[in-house]
Amino acid sequence: MRVRNRQKEAIPANITVEELGKAMAQLDLSHVPMHKRRDAIMEHLGRIASETAALPSDRQKLMSARLLRARLAANEPE
């Protein structure tokens, strides 16, 4: 069994909790089908994380992960 310290593994960001809340509140889910809302929320959170990571290397990793996820989702049958 492997013990993980999620706090130590966290990526530092240049955003406060209040700013994160405001940024997440900007997402409009009214036109997103119910079965795709989870993916829309995760994509929005990933976009915010990739824009606010403190280190450029972390921003690059997060952006690459978002692009890969989008590419995989585009090839997935509905």
* pLDDT tens track for 36-76: 999 999 999 999 999 999 999 999 999 999 999 888 888 87
Rounded to 5 degrees, φ, ψ at 53 are: -60, 140
So what's the pLDDT on residue 78?
63
Residue with tokens 């009214």: 30
Distance CA 69, CA 78 (A): 15
Contacts of 11 (CB under 8 A, 6+ apart): 49, 53, 54, 55, 58, 62
- 């999620």: which residue's tokens? 6
Indicate if the pLDDT at residue 77 is higher than 80. Answer: no
